Amino acid sequence: SRPDLSEDVILIGAMKDANLPKYLDDDLPLFNAIVKDLFPMAQVPPKEYGMLQNSIKSVLAERKKELVPTFVNKIIQLFETFQVRFGVMLVGPSGGGKSTIYKTLQKVMTDLRES
């Protein structure tokens, strides 16, 4: 909970958390433009994922995976999706990283719970 944020910023954050993981890269500029049109004065600070992000990087290194920022972001998006949805389906091409994303998040959450 962030009492220092305005209602507009909280609403934009909730919209992004619930929708961005579902959109294709080509749709993101349109979504961001619509949000900017609806809330032209709102400045949304980036979210801090601290321990989660550090643990993701650690697990990827432990599993000898390349540390690609967009891949780390996809893992965080899956985490965020689980916060607002009960059922989740990962879709994408073969070799796109779906299994690695959920297995990494599974290990990260286990490690964080045990620490």
Q: What average pLDDT values come out for the chain (115 residues) when binned by 10 residues? A: 84 87 89 94 89 97 95 93 87 94 97 94
What pLDDT shows up at residue 3? Answer: 82
Cβ-Cβ contacts under 8 Å for 18 (sequence gap 6 or more): 84
Q: What pLDDT does 21 receive?
A: 83
pLDDT at position 84 is: 82
Dihedral over Cα of 49, 45, 75, 59: its sign: negative
Q: How many CB atoms lie within 10 A of CB 41?
A: 7
pTM: 0.82
pLDDT of 1? 61
